Structure 1
Protein backbone atom coordinates (compact mmCIF):
# COMPACT_ATOMS: atom_id res chain seq x y z
CA UNK A 1 0.00 0.00 0.00
CA UNK A 2 1.33 3.41 -0.92
CA UNK A 3 2.28 5.97 1.68
CA UNK A 4 -0.43 8.29 0.31
CA UNK A 5 -3.22 5.68 0.85
CA UNK A 6 -1.96 4.94 4.39
CA UNK A 7 -2.06 8.67 5.28
CA UNK A 8 -5.56 9.03 3.85
CA UNK A 9 -6.81 5.96 5.77
CA UNK A 10 -5.20 7.21 8.99
CA UNK A 11 -6.95 10.58 8.61
CA UNK A 12 -10.28 8.89 7.90
CA UNK A 13 -9.87 6.65 10.96
CA UNK A 14 -8.93 9.66 13.13
CA UNK A 15 -12.01 11.56 11.94
CA UNK A 16 -14.24 8.54 12.67
CA UNK A 17 -12.81 8.25 16.20
CA UNK A 18 -13.40 11.95 16.89
CA UNK A 19 -16.99 11.77 15.62
CA UNK A 20 -17.70 8.61 17.63
CA UNK A 21 -16.33 10.21 20.78
CA UNK A 22 -18.51 13.30 20.24
CA UNK A 23 -21.65 11.17 20.35
CA UNK A 24 -24.66 11.27 18.08
CA UNK A 25 -25.31 14.49 16.21
CA UNK A 26 -28.54 16.22 17.10
CA UNK A 27 -30.83 16.82 14.16
CA UNK A 28 -31.10 20.52 13.41
CA UNK A 29 -34.74 21.54 13.24
CA UNK A 30 -35.51 24.36 10.83
CA UNK A 31 -36.71 27.39 12.76
CA UNK A 32 -39.71 27.99 10.50
CA UNK A 33 -38.89 31.45 9.18
CA UNK A 34 -39.00 30.19 5.59
CA UNK A 35 -42.14 28.04 5.87
CA UNK A 36 -44.06 30.30 3.47
CA UNK A 37 -41.32 30.42 0.81
CA UNK A 38 -43.34 27.89 -1.22
CA UNK A 39 -46.05 30.51 -1.71
CA UNK A 40 -44.01 33.36 -3.19
CA UNK A 41 -45.04 34.36 -6.70
CA UNK A 42 -48.19 34.60 -8.79
CA UNK A 43 -50.92 31.94 -8.63
CA UNK A 44 -54.15 31.10 -10.42
CA UNK A 45 -56.57 30.92 -7.52
CA UNK A 46 -59.89 29.12 -7.21
CA UNK A 47 -62.04 29.88 -4.15
CA UNK A 48 -65.02 27.87 -2.90
CA UNK A 49 -66.99 29.66 -0.19
CA UNK A 50 -69.82 28.36 1.99
CA UNK A 51 -72.44 31.08 1.77
CA UNK A 52 -73.81 30.87 5.33
CA UNK A 53 -71.34 29.23 7.74
CA UNK A 54 -72.53 27.55 10.94
CA UNK A 55 -76.20 27.65 9.91
CA UNK A 56 -76.54 24.16 8.47
CA UNK A 57 -76.33 25.62 4.96
CA UNK A 58 -74.79 23.54 2.18
CA UNK A 59 -74.84 26.31 -0.45
CA UNK A 60 -71.40 27.03 -1.88
CA UNK A 61 -70.28 29.57 -4.45
CA UNK A 62 -67.07 29.74 -6.48
CA UNK A 63 -64.65 32.46 -7.52
CA UNK A 64 -61.66 32.47 -9.84
CA UNK A 65 -58.82 34.90 -10.16
CA UNK A 66 -55.25 35.48 -9.13
CA UNK A 67 -53.18 35.88 -6.03
CA UNK A 68 -49.70 37.29 -5.61
CA UNK A 69 -47.43 36.62 -2.63
CA UNK A 70 -44.45 38.90 -2.05
CA UNK A 71 -41.50 38.32 0.24
CA UNK A 72 -40.83 40.88 2.98
CA UNK A 73 -37.82 40.94 5.34
CA UNK A 74 -36.06 38.14 3.43
CA UNK A 75 -39.00 35.78 3.96
CA UNK A 76 -39.66 36.48 7.64
CA UNK A 77 -42.87 38.15 6.49
CA UNK A 78 -44.99 38.19 3.36
CA UNK A 79 -47.88 40.05 1.76
CA UNK A 80 -50.63 37.95 0.17
CA UNK A 81 -52.93 39.73 -2.31
CA UNK A 82 -56.10 38.05 -3.57
CA UNK A 83 -58.43 39.18 -6.33
CA UNK A 84 -61.20 36.83 -7.47
CA UNK A 85 -64.55 37.10 -9.23
CA UNK A 86 -67.60 34.85 -9.15
CA UNK A 87 -71.40 34.70 -9.25
CA UNK A 88 -71.58 36.17 -5.73
CA UNK A 89 -69.35 39.12 -6.64
CA UNK A 90 -65.80 40.38 -6.49
CA UNK A 91 -63.38 39.81 -3.60
CA UNK A 92 -60.20 41.78 -2.99
CA UNK A 93 -58.24 40.80 0.06
CA UNK A 94 -54.83 41.17 1.58
CA UNK A 95 -53.00 39.05 4.11
CA UNK A 96 -49.99 39.97 6.19
CA UNK A 97 -47.94 37.04 7.49
CA UNK A 98 -45.37 37.72 10.21
CA UNK A 99 -42.82 35.30 11.68
CA UNK A 100 -42.02 35.45 15.41
CA UNK A 101 -38.42 34.21 15.83
CA UNK A 102 -38.87 33.70 19.60
CA UNK A 103 -41.87 31.36 19.40
CA UNK A 104 -40.97 30.00 15.92
CA UNK A 105 -44.58 30.62 14.95
CA UNK A 106 -46.38 32.70 12.37
CA UNK A 107 -49.25 35.08 12.81
CA UNK A 108 -51.56 35.57 9.88
CA UNK A 109 -53.63 38.72 9.50
CA UNK A 110 -56.35 39.31 6.90
CA UNK A 111 -58.65 42.01 5.59
CA UNK A 112 -60.69 42.64 2.48
CA UNK A 113 -61.44 45.84 0.63
CA UNK A 114 -64.95 46.10 2.06
CA UNK A 115 -63.68 46.04 5.68
CA UNK A 116 -60.37 47.88 5.62
CA UNK A 117 -59.24 46.65 9.05
CA UNK A 118 -57.10 43.64 9.90
CA UNK A 119 -58.85 40.69 11.54
CA UNK A 120 -57.40 39.22 14.72
CA UNK A 121 -54.21 37.25 14.17
CA UNK A 122 -54.22 33.52 13.51
CA UNK A 123 -51.24 31.91 15.29
CA UNK A 124 -49.57 28.64 14.34
CA UNK A 125 -46.81 26.79 12.55
CA UNK A 126 -45.92 24.17 9.97
CA UNK A 127 -45.32 20.55 10.96
CA UNK A 128 -44.98 17.59 8.62
CA UNK A 129 -45.66 19.67 5.51
CA UNK A 130 -48.89 21.17 6.87
CA UNK A 131 -49.50 24.58 8.44
CA UNK A 132 -52.27 25.04 11.01
CA UNK A 133 -53.17 28.42 12.48
CA UNK A 134 -55.84 29.22 15.09
CA UNK A 135 -57.60 32.30 16.36
CA UNK A 136 -60.77 33.74 17.87
CA UNK A 137 -63.43 35.69 16.00
CA UNK A 138 -67.12 36.51 16.11
CA UNK A 139 -69.83 35.50 13.67
CA UNK A 140 -73.29 37.04 13.91
CA UNK A 141 -72.49 38.28 17.40
CA UNK A 142 -71.25 34.96 18.84
CA UNK A 143 -67.70 33.91 19.66
CA UNK A 144 -66.17 31.27 17.42
CA UNK A 145 -62.81 29.62 16.84
CA UNK A 146 -61.19 29.83 13.42
CA UNK A 147 -58.66 27.44 11.90
CA UNK A 148 -56.62 28.17 8.76
CA UNK A 149 -54.70 25.29 7.18
CA UNK A 150 -52.20 24.99 4.33
CA UNK A 151 -51.70 21.54 2.84
CA UNK A 152 -50.92 19.57 -0.34
CA UNK A 153 -47.91 21.82 -0.90
CA UNK A 154 -45.90 21.24 -4.09
CA UNK A 155 -43.76 23.61 -6.18
CA UNK A 156 -46.75 24.24 -8.47
CA UNK A 157 -49.80 23.95 -6.22
CA UNK A 158 -51.15 24.17 -2.69
CA UNK A 159 -54.42 24.20 -0.79
CA UNK A 160 -55.81 26.49 1.90
CA UNK A 161 -58.86 25.78 4.06
CA UNK A 162 -60.64 27.87 6.65
CA UNK A 163 -62.96 26.25 9.18
CA UNK A 164 -65.13 27.60 12.00
CA UNK A 165 -66.09 26.02 15.32
CA UNK A 166 -68.82 27.27 17.62
CA UNK A 167 -68.37 24.48 20.18
CA UNK A 168 -64.85 25.18 21.43
CA UNK A 169 -63.10 23.16 18.73
CA UNK A 170 -64.96 19.85 19.17
CA UNK A 171 -66.29 20.08 15.62
CA UNK A 172 -65.18 22.17 12.65
CA UNK A 173 -67.07 23.30 9.56
CA UNK A 174 -64.97 24.15 6.50
CA UNK A 175 -66.31 27.30 4.87
CA UNK A 176 -63.55 28.58 2.57
CA UNK A 177 -61.24 26.58 0.30
CA UNK A 178 -58.58 28.06 -1.98
CA UNK A 179 -56.55 26.06 -4.44
CA UNK A 180 -53.44 27.62 -5.95
CA UNK A 181 -51.80 26.56 -9.22
CA UNK A 182 -48.95 28.09 -11.17
Structure 2
Protein backbone atom coordinates (compact mmCIF):
# COMPACT_ATOMS: atom_id res chain seq x y z
CA UNK A 1 0.00 0.00 0.00
CA UNK A 2 2.58 2.56 1.05
CA UNK A 3 4.75 1.70 -1.94
CA UNK A 4 2.05 2.79 -4.36
CA UNK A 5 1.44 5.97 -2.43
CA UNK A 6 5.10 6.74 -2.89
CA UNK A 7 4.91 5.99 -6.61
CA UNK A 8 2.15 8.45 -7.35
CA UNK A 9 2.55 10.90 -4.52
CA UNK A 10 6.27 11.15 -3.89
CA UNK A 11 5.89 9.95 -0.32
CA UNK A 12 8.81 7.56 -0.22
CA UNK A 13 10.23 8.82 3.05
CA UNK A 14 8.02 9.17 6.09
CA UNK A 15 9.04 12.20 8.12
CA UNK A 16 11.41 11.26 10.93
CA UNK A 17 9.53 11.60 14.22
CA UNK A 18 11.06 13.49 17.07
CA UNK A 19 11.39 11.93 20.50
CA UNK A 20 8.52 13.64 22.33
CA UNK A 21 5.80 11.03 23.02
CA UNK A 22 3.08 13.60 22.31
CA UNK A 23 4.19 14.15 18.71
CA UNK A 24 1.80 12.89 16.05
CA UNK A 25 4.69 11.29 14.19
CA UNK A 26 5.10 8.88 17.11
CA UNK A 27 1.40 8.28 17.73
CA UNK A 28 -0.46 5.18 16.53
CA UNK A 29 -3.29 5.93 14.13
CA UNK A 30 -5.97 5.60 16.83
CA UNK A 31 -4.21 8.29 18.85
CA UNK A 32 -3.73 10.37 15.71
CA UNK A 33 -7.46 10.28 15.04
CA UNK A 34 -8.06 11.53 18.57
CA UNK A 35 -5.39 14.22 18.14
CA UNK A 36 -7.27 15.51 15.08
CA UNK A 37 -10.19 16.38 17.37
CA UNK A 38 -8.17 18.65 19.69
CA UNK A 39 -8.78 22.43 19.59
CA UNK A 40 -5.27 22.92 18.21
CA UNK A 41 -5.97 20.64 15.24
CA UNK A 42 -9.38 22.20 14.61
CA UNK A 43 -8.18 25.83 14.71
CA UNK A 44 -9.24 26.46 11.09
CA UNK A 45 -12.66 24.83 11.35
CA UNK A 46 -14.27 28.27 11.75
CA UNK A 47 -13.72 28.65 8.01
CA UNK A 48 -15.65 25.55 6.91
CA UNK A 49 -18.62 26.55 4.77
CA UNK A 50 -19.42 29.00 1.99
CA UNK A 51 -18.15 32.59 2.04
CA UNK A 52 -18.01 35.90 0.21
CA UNK A 53 -14.74 37.77 0.58
CA UNK A 54 -13.90 41.40 -0.09
CA UNK A 55 -10.20 41.76 -1.03
CA UNK A 56 -9.28 45.37 -0.24
CA UNK A 57 -6.04 47.12 -1.18
CA UNK A 58 -4.54 50.29 0.29
CA UNK A 59 -6.44 53.48 -0.45
CA UNK A 60 -3.90 55.72 -2.26
CA UNK A 61 -5.78 58.82 -1.06
CA UNK A 62 -6.24 57.84 2.56
CA UNK A 63 -4.69 56.17 5.58
CA UNK A 64 -6.62 52.94 5.36
CA UNK A 65 -7.93 50.51 2.78
CA UNK A 66 -10.45 50.85 -0.02
CA UNK A 67 -14.01 50.07 1.06
CA UNK A 68 -14.60 47.72 -1.86
CA UNK A 69 -12.22 45.42 -3.66
CA UNK A 70 -12.30 42.14 -5.54
CA UNK A 71 -15.27 39.97 -4.61
CA UNK A 72 -14.45 36.27 -4.31
CA UNK A 73 -16.61 33.21 -3.66
CA UNK A 74 -15.05 30.59 -1.36
CA UNK A 75 -15.96 27.04 -0.43
CA UNK A 76 -14.00 25.55 2.48
CA UNK A 77 -14.10 21.90 3.50
CA UNK A 78 -12.05 19.24 5.29
CA UNK A 79 -10.19 16.46 3.51
CA UNK A 80 -8.09 13.39 4.32
CA UNK A 81 -10.19 12.40 7.30
CA UNK A 82 -10.02 15.89 8.78
CA UNK A 83 -6.23 16.26 8.56
CA UNK A 84 -6.44 19.10 6.02
CA UNK A 85 -8.68 22.13 5.48
CA UNK A 86 -9.11 23.12 1.84
CA UNK A 87 -10.08 26.58 0.58
CA UNK A 88 -11.42 26.69 -2.97
CA UNK A 89 -12.04 30.17 -4.45
CA UNK A 90 -13.29 31.69 -7.69
CA UNK A 91 -14.73 35.03 -8.86
CA UNK A 92 -18.03 35.81 -7.15
CA UNK A 93 -19.61 37.35 -10.25
CA UNK A 94 -19.21 35.53 -13.54
CA UNK A 95 -19.79 38.77 -15.47
CA UNK A 96 -16.72 40.25 -13.79
CA UNK A 97 -14.53 37.18 -14.06
CA UNK A 98 -12.07 38.24 -16.75
CA UNK A 99 -9.64 39.92 -14.39
CA UNK A 100 -10.31 37.84 -11.31
CA UNK A 101 -8.15 35.17 -9.74
CA UNK A 102 -9.08 31.61 -8.88
CA UNK A 103 -7.29 29.75 -6.12
CA UNK A 104 -6.90 26.83 -3.79
CA UNK A 105 -5.12 26.49 -0.47
CA UNK A 106 -4.45 23.36 1.59
CA UNK A 107 -3.52 23.76 5.25
CA UNK A 108 -2.85 21.23 7.98
CA UNK A 109 -1.32 21.07 11.45
CA UNK A 110 2.24 19.72 11.53
CA UNK A 111 2.29 17.12 14.29
CA UNK A 112 6.01 17.56 14.92
CA UNK A 113 6.21 21.32 15.34
CA UNK A 114 2.64 22.27 16.25
CA UNK A 115 2.67 24.85 13.45
CA UNK A 116 0.14 25.16 10.67
CA UNK A 117 1.48 24.61 7.17
CA UNK A 118 -0.24 26.12 4.15
CA UNK A 119 0.36 25.53 0.45
CA UNK A 120 -1.56 27.48 -2.17
CA UNK A 121 -1.95 28.08 -5.89
CA UNK A 122 -3.55 31.33 -7.14
CA UNK A 123 -3.24 31.80 -10.91
CA UNK A 124 -4.92 34.70 -12.67
CA UNK A 125 -5.43 35.79 -16.28
CA UNK A 126 -2.02 36.43 -17.79
CA UNK A 127 -0.13 34.54 -15.05
CA UNK A 128 -0.37 30.83 -14.40
CA UNK A 129 1.08 30.91 -10.88
CA UNK A 130 3.71 28.79 -9.18
CA UNK A 131 2.02 25.37 -9.27
CA UNK A 132 1.23 24.78 -5.55
CA UNK A 133 4.75 25.87 -4.54
CA UNK A 134 3.56 28.96 -2.60
CA UNK A 135 3.88 27.97 1.08
CA UNK A 136 3.63 29.46 4.59
CA UNK A 137 4.12 28.15 8.13
CA UNK A 138 3.23 29.46 11.58
CA UNK A 139 1.36 29.08 14.88
CA UNK A 140 -2.13 29.55 16.26
CA UNK A 141 -2.19 31.26 19.65
CA UNK A 142 -5.15 32.60 21.59
CA UNK A 143 -7.46 32.65 18.59
CA UNK A 144 -4.94 34.40 16.32
CA UNK A 145 -3.28 32.52 13.46
CA UNK A 146 -0.08 33.88 11.90
CA UNK A 147 1.61 32.20 8.94
CA UNK A 148 4.98 33.30 7.53
CA UNK A 149 7.30 32.62 4.62
CA UNK A 150 10.20 33.99 2.64
CA UNK A 151 8.86 36.27 -0.11
CA UNK A 152 11.02 36.04 -3.23
CA UNK A 153 8.82 38.49 -5.14
CA UNK A 154 9.61 41.32 -2.71
CA UNK A 155 13.18 40.33 -1.79
CA UNK A 156 16.21 41.99 -3.36
CA UNK A 157 19.94 41.21 -3.23
CA UNK A 158 20.18 43.78 -0.44
CA UNK A 159 16.99 43.00 1.52
CA UNK A 160 15.26 39.76 2.42
CA UNK A 161 11.49 40.12 2.65
CA UNK A 162 9.28 37.97 4.85
CA UNK A 163 5.53 37.63 4.30
CA UNK A 164 2.85 37.23 6.99
CA UNK A 165 -0.78 36.13 6.75
CA UNK A 166 -2.84 36.94 9.85
CA UNK A 167 -6.31 35.55 10.65
CA UNK A 168 -8.11 37.53 13.37
CA UNK A 169 -11.51 38.86 14.55
CA UNK A 170 -12.89 35.35 14.15
CA UNK A 171 -16.66 35.19 14.62
CA UNK A 172 -19.24 32.66 13.39
CA UNK A 173 -20.17 34.75 10.34
CA UNK A 174 -17.13 36.97 9.76
CA UNK A 175 -13.34 37.11 10.10
CA UNK A 176 -10.42 39.11 8.77
CA UNK A 177 -7.36 37.96 6.83
CA UNK A 178 -4.46 40.41 6.38
CA UNK A 179 -1.34 40.18 4.24
CA UNK A 180 1.81 42.06 5.29
CA UNK A 181 5.56 42.09 4.67
CA UNK A 182 8.71 43.06 6.53
CA UNK A 183 12.15 43.80 5.17
CA UNK A 184 13.84 44.39 8.53
CA UNK A 185 13.31 41.11 10.32
CA UNK A 186 9.95 42.06 11.84
CA UNK A 187 10.80 45.46 13.32
CA UNK A 188 8.21 47.00 11.02
CA UNK A 189 5.44 45.56 8.86
CA UNK A 190 3.67 46.95 5.79
CA UNK A 191 0.12 45.65 5.31
CA UNK A 192 -0.76 45.43 1.64
CA UNK A 193 -4.20 43.83 1.74
CA UNK A 194 -7.15 43.36 4.08
CA UNK A 195 -9.66 40.64 3.28
CA UNK A 196 -13.02 40.62 5.02
CA UNK A 197 -14.93 37.35 4.78
CA UNK A 198 -18.69 36.99 5.31
CA UNK A 199 -20.46 33.68 5.63
CA UNK A 200 -22.98 32.78 2.94
CA UNK A 201 -23.85 29.34 4.30
CA UNK A 202 -22.84 26.56 6.64
CA UNK A 203 -22.66 23.82 4.06
CA UNK A 204 -19.47 23.17 2.15
CA UNK A 205 -18.63 21.05 -0.85
CA UNK A 206 -16.68 17.85 -0.31
CA UNK A 207 -13.67 16.72 -2.29
CA UNK A 208 -14.82 16.43 -5.91
CA UNK A 209 -15.04 12.86 -7.17
CA UNK A 210 -14.07 12.39 -10.77
CA UNK A 211 -15.24 15.68 -12.31
CA UNK A 212 -14.36 19.38 -12.51
CA UNK A 213 -14.03 21.17 -9.18
CA UNK A 214 -16.58 23.87 -8.22
CA UNK A 215 -16.00 27.22 -9.91
CA UNK A 216 -14.12 25.68 -12.83
CA UNK A 217 -14.30 27.71 -16.05
CA UNK A 218 -12.50 25.87 -18.87
CA UNK A 219 -9.67 27.76 -20.49
CA UNK A 220 -10.25 31.08 -18.71
CA UNK A 221 -6.67 31.25 -17.43
CA UNK A 222 -4.59 28.31 -18.67
CA UNK A 223 -5.86 27.40 -22.12
CA UNK A 224 -2.59 26.73 -23.96
CA UNK A 225 0.05 24.01 -23.84
CA UNK A 226 1.84 22.78 -21.86
CA UNK A 227 -1.18 23.16 -19.56
CA UNK A 228 -3.60 20.28 -19.84
CA UNK A 229 -1.03 17.52 -20.25
CA UNK A 230 -2.61 15.56 -17.38
CA UNK A 231 -6.26 16.50 -18.03
CA UNK A 232 -6.91 13.01 -19.36
CA UNK A 233 -6.80 11.87 -15.72
CA UNK A 234 -10.18 13.50 -15.03
CA UNK A 235 -12.60 10.81 -13.87
CA UNK A 236 -12.42 7.69 -11.71
CA UNK A 237 -9.58 5.24 -12.41
CA UNK A 238 -8.93 1.84 -10.93
CA UNK A 239 -5.41 1.21 -9.69
CA UNK A 240 -3.57 -2.11 -9.67
CA UNK A 241 0.00 -3.25 -9.30
CA UNK A 242 2.47 -4.07 -6.57
CA UNK A 243 4.25 -1.89 -4.06
CA UNK A 244 8.00 -1.73 -3.53
CA UNK A 245 7.82 -4.84 -1.32
CA UNK A 246 6.03 -6.85 -3.98
CA UNK A 247 2.69 -6.70 -2.18
CA UNK A 248 -0.36 -6.27 -4.45
CA UNK A 249 -2.24 -2.96 -4.29
CA UNK A 250 -5.71 -2.08 -5.46
CA UNK A 251 -7.72 1.10 -5.25
CA UNK A 252 -8.92 4.06 -7.24
CA UNK A 253 -8.01 7.61 -8.20
CA UNK A 254 -10.70 10.31 -8.52
CA UNK A 255 -9.39 13.42 -10.30
CA UNK A 256 -10.84 16.60 -11.79
CA UNK A 257 -9.75 19.84 -13.40
CA UNK A 258 -9.61 23.06 -11.40
CA UNK A 259 -8.22 26.61 -11.44
CA UNK A 260 -9.63 27.28 -14.91
CA UNK A 261 -7.29 24.90 -16.66
CA UNK A 262 -4.18 25.48 -14.54
CA UNK A 263 -4.26 22.20 -12.61
CA UNK A 264 -5.83 18.80 -12.14
CA UNK A 265 -6.22 17.31 -8.68
CA UNK A 266 -7.92 14.53 -6.82
CA UNK A 267 -7.72 11.81 -4.19
CA UNK A 268 -5.96 8.46 -4.43
CA UNK A 269 -7.54 5.80 -2.18
CA UNK A 270 -5.61 2.61 -1.56
CA UNK A 271 -7.11 0.27 1.05
CA UNK A 272 -8.58 3.21 2.94
CA UNK A 273 -5.39 5.29 2.92
CA UNK A 274 -6.02 8.57 1.11
CA UNK A 275 -3.60 10.94 -0.60
CA UNK A 276 -4.46 14.29 -2.16
CA UNK A 277 -2.58 14.80 -5.44
CA UNK A 278 -2.29 17.78 -7.79
CA UNK A 279 -0.38 18.36 -11.02
CA UNK A 280 0.30 21.81 -12.43
CA UNK A 281 2.68 23.65 -14.76
CA UNK A 282 4.38 26.95 -13.90
CA UNK A 283 5.84 29.05 -16.69
CA UNK A 284 7.73 31.07 -14.08
CA UNK A 285 9.42 27.97 -12.67
CA UNK A 286 9.50 26.22 -16.05
CA UNK A 287 8.51 23.04 -14.20
CA UNK A 288 5.67 20.66 -13.68
CA UNK A 289 5.04 20.04 -10.00
CA UNK A 290 3.28 17.16 -8.35
CA UNK A 291 1.92 18.11 -4.93
CA UNK A 292 0.98 15.35 -2.50
CA UNK A 293 -0.36 15.13 1.04
CA UNK A 294 -1.47 11.84 2.60
CA UNK A 295 -3.68 11.20 5.60
CA UNK A 296 -0.87 9.25 7.27
CA UNK A 297 0.10 10.44 10.77
CA UNK A 298 3.20 12.61 10.87
CA UNK A 299 3.64 13.07 7.12
CA UNK A 300 4.07 16.53 5.63
CA UNK A 301 3.27 17.39 2.04
CA UNK A 302 5.85 16.69 -0.65
CA UNK A 303 6.78 17.74 -4.16
CA UNK A 304 8.07 15.99 -7.22
CA UNK A 305 9.13 17.97 -10.30
CA UNK A 306 9.38 17.34 -14.03
CA UNK A 307 10.48 19.34 -17.05
CA UNK A 308 7.64 18.02 -19.23
CA UNK A 309 4.15 16.64 -18.65
CA UNK A 310 1.91 13.90 -19.96
CA UNK A 311 3.11 10.62 -21.42
CA UNK A 312 6.87 10.35 -21.02
CA UNK A 313 7.03 12.70 -18.03
CA UNK A 314 9.66 11.93 -15.39
CA UNK A 315 8.98 13.31 -11.90
CA UNK A 316 11.94 13.54 -9.52
CA UNK A 317 11.39 13.61 -5.76
CA UNK A 318 12.16 17.10 -4.34
CA UNK A 319 11.81 16.88 -0.53
CA UNK A 320 13.92 20.01 -0.04
CA UNK A 321 11.18 22.13 -1.63
CA UNK A 322 8.77 21.64 1.30
CA UNK A 323 8.76 24.65 3.63
CA UNK A 324 10.66 24.11 6.88
CA UNK A 325 10.90 27.55 8.50
CA UNK A 326 9.25 31.01 8.38
CA UNK A 327 12.25 32.60 6.66
CA UNK A 328 13.88 29.86 4.56
CA UNK A 329 13.82 30.32 0.79
CA UNK A 330 12.18 27.00 -0.03
CA UNK A 331 12.47 27.61 -3.76
CA UNK A 332 16.16 26.84 -3.31
CA UNK A 333 15.07 23.26 -2.68
CA UNK A 334 14.31 22.93 -6.38
CA UNK A 335 17.92 23.52 -7.37
CA UNK A 336 19.62 20.32 -8.35
CA UNK A 337 16.65 18.18 -7.30
CA UNK A 338 16.82 15.82 -10.33
CA UNK A 339 20.55 15.29 -9.88
CA UNK A 340 20.20 14.53 -6.16
CA UNK A 341 16.94 12.56 -6.23
CA UNK A 342 16.96 8.91 -5.22
CA UNK A 343 13.42 8.24 -6.46
CA UNK A 344 11.66 9.10 -9.69
CA UNK A 345 8.40 8.20 -11.44
CA UNK A 346 8.19 7.64 -15.19
CA UNK A 347 4.81 7.99 -16.91
CA UNK A 348 5.37 5.39 -19.61
CA UNK A 349 1.79 5.63 -20.82
CA UNK A 350 -0.98 8.19 -20.33
CA UNK A 351 -4.08 8.29 -22.52
CA UNK A 352 -7.83 7.82 -22.25
CA UNK A 353 -7.42 4.04 -22.18
CA UNK A 354 -4.97 3.85 -19.31
CA UNK A 355 -1.74 4.87 -17.66
CA UNK A 356 1.43 3.03 -16.65
CA UNK A 357 3.74 4.52 -14.04
CA UNK A 358 7.12 3.01 -13.28
CA UNK A 359 8.88 3.75 -10.02
CA UNK A 360 12.67 3.83 -10.25
CA UNK A 361 15.23 4.05 -7.48
CA UNK A 362 18.96 4.39 -7.04
CA UNK A 363 21.19 3.96 -4.01
CA UNK A 364 23.06 7.24 -4.54
CA UNK A 365 23.08 10.17 -6.97
CA UNK A 366 25.96 8.48 -8.78
CA UNK A 367 24.25 5.09 -9.16
CA UNK A 368 22.12 3.85 -12.05
CA UNK A 369 18.34 3.84 -11.90
CA UNK A 370 16.62 0.49 -11.45
CA UNK A 371 12.93 -0.42 -11.66
CA UNK A 372 11.29 -0.87 -8.28
CA UNK A 373 7.60 -1.23 -9.20
CA UNK A 374 5.14 -0.80 -12.04
CA UNK A 375 1.51 0.34 -11.63
CA UNK A 376 -1.46 0.54 -13.95
CA UNK A 377 -4.39 2.98 -13.98
CA UNK A 378 -7.40 1.95 -16.05
CA UNK A 379 -10.97 3.20 -16.48
CA UNK A 380 -13.32 1.09 -14.34
CA UNK A 381 -15.20 -0.19 -17.39
CA UNK A 382 -12.07 -1.72 -18.91
Compute the TM-score of the two structures, normalised by the length of structure 1: 0.71
- Tell me: CA distance 1:159–1:72, structure 2 relative to 1, closer, same or farther (3 Å): same
CA contact (8 A) 2:147 2:165 kept: yes
Gaps (5+ residues) in structure 2?
Answer: 1-37, 200-382
CA contact (8 A) 1:95 1:111 kept: yes
Q: What aligned pairs does 1:18-29 form with structure 2 within 5 A after superposition?
A: none
Aligned counterparts of 2:164 and 2:53: Cα–Cα separation in 1: 20
The match for 2:173 among 125, 144, 156 is 156
The match for 2:88 among 81, 84, 87 is 81
Q: Which residue of 1 aligns with 2:143?
A: 129
Gaps (5+ residues) in structure 1?
Answer: 1-29, 53-57
RMSD of aligned residue pairs (Cα, Å): 2.8
Q: How far does residue 35 in structure 1 lie from its aligned partner after superposition?
A: 0.6
Aligned counterparts of 1:140 and 1:154: Cα–Cα separation in 2: 32
Work out which of the two has the higher radius of gyration on C-alpha atoms and give 1 or 2. 1
The match for 2:107 among 79, 82, 97 is 97
Q: What aligned pairs does 1:41-60 form with structure 2 within 5 A after superposition?
A: 41-50=49-58
CA contact (8 A) 2:90 2:102 kept: yes
Aligned counterparts of 1:36 and 1:70: Cα–Cα separation in 2: 10
- Count of equivalent residues: 149
Q: How far does residue 75 in structure 1 lie from its aligned partner after superposition?
A: 2.8
Aligned counterparts of 1:70 and 1:178: Cα–Cα separation in 2: 19
Aligned counterparts of 1:71 and 1:105: Cα–Cα separation in 2: 18
Q: How far does residue 93 in structure 1 lie from its aligned partner after superposition?
A: 1.4
Aligned counterparts of 2:185 and 2:147: Cα–Cα separation in 1: 15
Q: Which structure shows the higher strand fraction? A: 1
Compute the TM-score of the two structures, normalised by the length of structure 2: 0.36
